[in-house]
Copies of this chain bind each other. A is one copy, B any other.
Amino acid sequence: MLALVPPGDRRIGMNPHGNGGRLRVRLELPRLADHEVDVPSPGGVTLSALEAAGRYLADVVEAGANRRRFLVACPDELESNKLGALLHVTGRRYLWPHSSDDSTLTPDGRVLEVLSEHQCQGWLQGYLLTGRHGVFPCYEAFVEIVDGMANQYAKFLKVARELPWRAPVSSFNYLLTSDGWRQEHNGYSHQGPGFINSMLNKKASVTRIYLPPDANCLLATLERCLTSTDSMNLVVCSKQPLPQWLSMPEARAHCAAGASTWTWASPRDDGDPDVVLAGAGTIPMIEVLAAAHLLREDLPDLRVRVVNVTDLLSLESPADHPHGLSDEEFRTLFTPDRPVIFFFHGYPSAIHQLVHHRPEPERFHVRGYIEEGTTTTPFDLLVANEASRYHLAVAALQRARGMASIGGRLVEEYHQRLLAHRRYILEHGVDPPEVRDWTWS
């Protein structure tokens, strides 16, 4: 019978139409240094990380022969996702005749834009499986629409990785662009970080989840995603202008580590802090830093360590995920036994699930999105989800050792400030200056 099987490359599995990885050519990527966002001091500059990503992706399109092997499939307005820079170097693909009034429509455009998450998911899967590359920018709350398709594709990748004859294909890159913590005119319907949980259910060999805290980290993350294979990379980012924290060299080191202590934000950390304030995500990290700031001014003796987690799966045990920090690295970062106040971008359960196999997981006190708040001010949304800087500071005071007496006074004061802010927001419809104008110093 085996004599009937055609030899070598004549077998179906060897056909490049079915094994497109054999045709894959690496993307030519621009130098990150040429895209570095200048950060004179932490928080010293405010800009949109996605606008920087848009300029980087525009250069990706222009580099070498990438025009023949790179696509952006986007169910939402590319501009509304702040990726408009792409349209300066390419167009939205449109094959039918169009009039001179139509702008940015071209038959060979590298952007496929149609308001159907299903269509974009399918398009990009097919494109990657034929040996090429791409990204899928999507509103965070609506990527869940393709949960079923993503599950099946993850199963395909898991099995494909187990077949030695299958050549690797480029990873599927999700770029979640409109996170629920900044609502603008949208409300409760536009809040939905659950895709992170779906990814956590999948095989560790396949899933990667990144929450770059600023523009340079996002660029370093994009470079990593665009060179990876046989994975599903979920990148959660913000399109709003936000404070920038790290230089490109710092961002590269931070992203390579997956998570690290931000020493410039931890002045009193002598290696044995009283409490660790950790954040994952852009908005959460702002609140974590603001909470550290509050505590530094109001309680100078409290030794606070500030940690950012940009590679979410670095939290998982290395036995459970290849990106997991070693137990020693984990203990060094979060201490062996001190309380950790963690503000996570998504549902708190994800962090509990990830640290379950780590030492003393109960010391992780997690705040995150708890399905509260709708169209309101950015700060009021944080308050509704009990995750504002004041909530984090209170949680730290209630758990750090020896804080009973002096901490109690501050806790009361912070509660009073929350009430005052609430009154201000109801009256003026914007956040109070103390919050609006806060900057790191």
B151 contacts A148, C-beta separation under 8 Å: no
Q: What sequence of 0s and 1s flags, for each residue 19-42 of chain A, a beta carbon within 8 Å of any chain B beta carbon?
A: 000000000000000000000000
User: DSSP class of A's interface residues: helix, strand, loop or mixed?
Assistant: helix
Give the residue of B141, B151, B158, B189 whose beta carbon is less than 8 angstroms from that of A194: B151
Complex Cα gap A362–B151 (Å): 29
Nearest neighbor of A198 in chain B, beta-carbon distance: B194
Q: Given contacts A194-B151, A198-B194, is CB(A353)–CB(B349) below 8 Å?
A: yes
Give chain B nearest CB distance to A140 CB in angstroms: 12
Expressed in whole angstroms, the minimum distance between the Cβ of A155 and any Cβ of chain B is 5
Chain B proximity of A391: nearest CB distance (Å): 17
Complex Cα spacing A194 to B148, Å: 10
Report how far A352 CA is from B353 CA in the complex, Å. 6
Given known A-B contacts A148-B142, A148-B145, A362-B361, A155 and B189 have beta carbons under 8 A apart: yes
Of residues 130 through 180 on chain A, the ones whose CB sits less than 8 Å from some CB of chain B are: 141-142, 144-148, 151-152, 155, 158-159
What is the number of residues of chain A that contact chain B, defined by CB distance less than 8 Å? 32
Q: Which residues of B contact A362 (CB under 8 A)?
A: 356, 361
**Which of A152, A194, A352, A356: most chain B Cβ within 10 A?**
A356
Question: Does A144 contact B155, Cβ atoms closer than 8 Å?
Answer: no
Bound Cα distance from A49 to B407, whole angstroms: 57
- Whether A155 and B188, one on each chain, are in contact in the complex, defined by CB atoms closer than 8 angstroms, is yes
- Which positions 252-304 of chain A face chain B at CB distance < 8 Å? none
Instruction: Determine whether the beta carbon of B151 is less than 8 Å from that of A192.
Output: yes
When C-beta atoms are compared, the residue in chain B nearest to A366 turns out to be: B356
Quick check: is A441 within 8 A (CB to CB) of the other chain? no
Give the B-binding residues of A (Cβ under 8 A).
Answer: 117, 141-142, 144-148, 151-152, 155, 158-159, 188-189, 192, 194, 197-198, 200-203, 347, 349, 352-353, 356, 361-362, 371, 374
